[in-house]
Chains A and B, each alone.
Chain A
Amino acid sequence: NAGVTQTPKFRVLKTGQSMTLLCAQDMNHEYMYWYRQDPGMGLRLIHYSVGEGTTAKGEVPDGYNVSRLKKQNFLLGLESAAPSQTSVYFCASSYPAGGSNEQFFGPGTRLTVL
């Protein structure tokens, strides 16, 4: 199993450009999440999904959109990138219930917006 993978690993954008970050998981998890990690701060939840075709807002959703067209994929879109969106983005997935509700994380995407 590859676990949680993210594409791309690095990206540099100019202000106003758009892009989509792709997250894929092969563990048949129902729940998927997008976080951002900024220096000196913990991870903050952007959006999450509890199943195919569903999405919901997290703590910092503004400026981002998401889609979950297939169970194994969760896409994060930036329609008009801003320098404040320079960050490291992590995707995670988890089982619906039971055990530790552990979230499994991808390796991250480092995004710079100039």
Chain B
Amino acid sequence: GEDVEQSLFLSVREGDSSVINCTYTDSSSTYLYWYKQEPGAGLQLLTYIFSNMDMKQDQRLTVLLNKKDKHLSLRIADTQTGDSAIYFCAESTPFKTGANNLFFGTGTRLTVIP
């Protein structure tokens, strides 16, 4: 399978910015996603970026994609305690049937310190 790597832990103070990084190996990825998982819950899509884009901004979230280095980052501005969760990076390549083959990173546990 493809390799998607993330650091395991990140701690930030409330009000600061958080930056979560991800590297991937599949250059044919079509979409790259950021999912959030709160304790005991399923994954919730936060944002995504199409592979031909460099940047996407969505309120407090900024996604940067460096396709040459296969590096993806998620910046959360003005981080709040409610942002504490595990964040998963995932890359997507389509199956021939059209379904989406998602490869996930290990997840980064973000802890926001009040």
**Contact of A45 (CB < 8 Å), options: B4, B48, B102:** B102
Q: Please, which residues of chain A bring their CB within 8 A of the CB of B95?
A: 48, 50, 56
Proximity string of chain B (95-114) to chain A, C-beta cutoff 8 Å, 1 when within and 0 when not: 10111111111110000000
Knowing A43-B88, A43-B102, A59-B1 touch, does A102 contact B42 (C-beta < 8 A)? no
Say if the beta carbon of B10 comes within 8 Å of chain A.
no
Q: Please, which residues of chain B bring their CB within 8 A of the CB of A43?
A: 43, 88, 90, 102, 104
Query: For this complex, into which size category does the number of interface residues on chain B fall?
Result: 20 to 34
Q: Please, which residues of chain A bring their CB within 8 A of the CB of B8?
A: 40
Q: Please, which residues of chain B bring their CB within 8 A of the CB of A58?
A: 101
B88 touches A31 (CB 8 A): no
B98 touches A103 (CB 8 A): no
A103 touches B100 (CB 8 A): yes
B42 touches A94 (CB 8 A): no
Give CA–CA (A88, B42) in the complex, Å. 10
Q: Please, which residues of chain B bring their CB within 8 A of the CB of A45?
A: 101-102
| Minimal Cβ-Cβ distance residue in B for A51 | B97
A residues with a Cβ closer than 8 A to B are: 4, 31, 33, 40-45, 48-50, 56, 58-59, 90, 92, 94, 96-97, 100-108
- For the complex of A and B, the 9 pairs showing the least CB-CB separation, nearest first, are A42-B104, A105-B42, A105-B43, A43-B104, A50-B97, A31-B99, A107-B42, A100-B48, A101-B100
